Chain A
Amino acid sequence: MSEIKVELKKLIIDVLDLEDVSVSEIIDDEPLFVDGLGLDSIDALELGLAIKKEYGIKLDANSEDTKRHFASINALAEFITSQS
């Protein structure tokens, strides 16, 4: 589980051009969007695309579930593990 979290953090830093953020600065249970890391809606689309490419998991952009899966690193890791 912790391996996939580090993997996800690296993916986020890489695809969202967060070059001055380090893996340790992204906290597992903190919000990724708005508060916490401070990502926005374009980041959500970009991250959705990256997850599709990396893990072959397609996320529905309009679903409430997607919002929940994107809440934090913990939620995202749990979702991806459950899909594979």
Chain B
Amino acid sequence: MELRIKNWSFVETSNLTKFNCCNMTNTHIVNSLDIKDIPSLSVIPRMKKRRLSTFSQLALSTALDITIESDCVSVFSSRHGDLHKTNQLLKVVAGEEALSPTQFSLSVHNAVSGQFGILTNNKAASSVIAGGINSFHYALIEAYALLLENEEVLVVHTDTELPENYSQFEDELQVSHSLAILLSRIEGVPLQLTPIDTSGVISDPKLTPEKVLPQAIQFFNYLISDDTEIEISNKWKWNKTNDKN
């Protein structure tokens, strides 16, 4: 399938102390202990910003960095969602204490999508995907389907480092990140995505594969590189197609 990228915005951070932010025209490193200092978040009113978790702020920092039409449909995706918040809520439940209404109301997987809609006054349809390690690519397939009926689709993938008590489940390198991509039916850099058929492949369960970067970061590094093709997790093949024909 061919996907055209009209615009993108990316942020990654380790330990939430330094934010490497870039978009199609700019790169800036935000050295700060506070995620609130990311410039694209400055448009959020103070009374709204106070409730946004680190996860929400990461997602919104890239989503709000891209100019879209007010009726642009969107796909938000995340493998783990706002697991730090879920984790906190579960601890409260385990301690048989009352849950915070604010935290609870923003704990669903589509909370960021809703906040984005409110902040940008966007009433268009929005889908939210959680598809395991392949979440980012499944979001793109969802977007590809939406492009049949819409000229543009905004895709926002976000994940944060796992909370410490989930560390035994780590099967990727832990980097908090968010990538927003504006896909267009007509404009932008064309890329070819091909799912690789792995149905006949039997992997050796005794072999622990080496941990690699999350798929969205692997894709982003490929996007800004001169490489013409990449295979991600032996499952997704990307090609930069020649648009000159």
Contacts and interface: CB of A to CB of B under 8 A. Distances in A.
Nearest to A39: B47
B101 A17 contact: no
A45 B50 contact: no
Range, interface on chain A: 10 to 19
B176 to A, nearest CB: 21
A20 B105 contact: no
Contact of A16 (B46, B50, B98, B105): B50
Nearest to A18: B50
Chain A CB within 10 Å, residue with most, of B51, B98, B101: B101
Contacts of A38: 47
B54 to A, nearest CB: 13
Interface in B1-55: 46-47, 50-51
A40 B50 CA distance: 13
Interface in A27-56: 38, 42-43, 45-46, 49, 52-53
Given A20-B46, A52-B98, 20 more contacts: A16-B102, A17-B50, A17-B51, A18-B50, A19-B50, A38-B47, A42-B51, A42-B101, A42-B102, A42-B105, A43-B102, A45-B101, A45-B102, A46-B100, A46-B101, A46-B102, A49-B98, A49-B100, A49-B101, A53-B98
Interface of B: 46-47, 50-51, 98, 100-102, 105
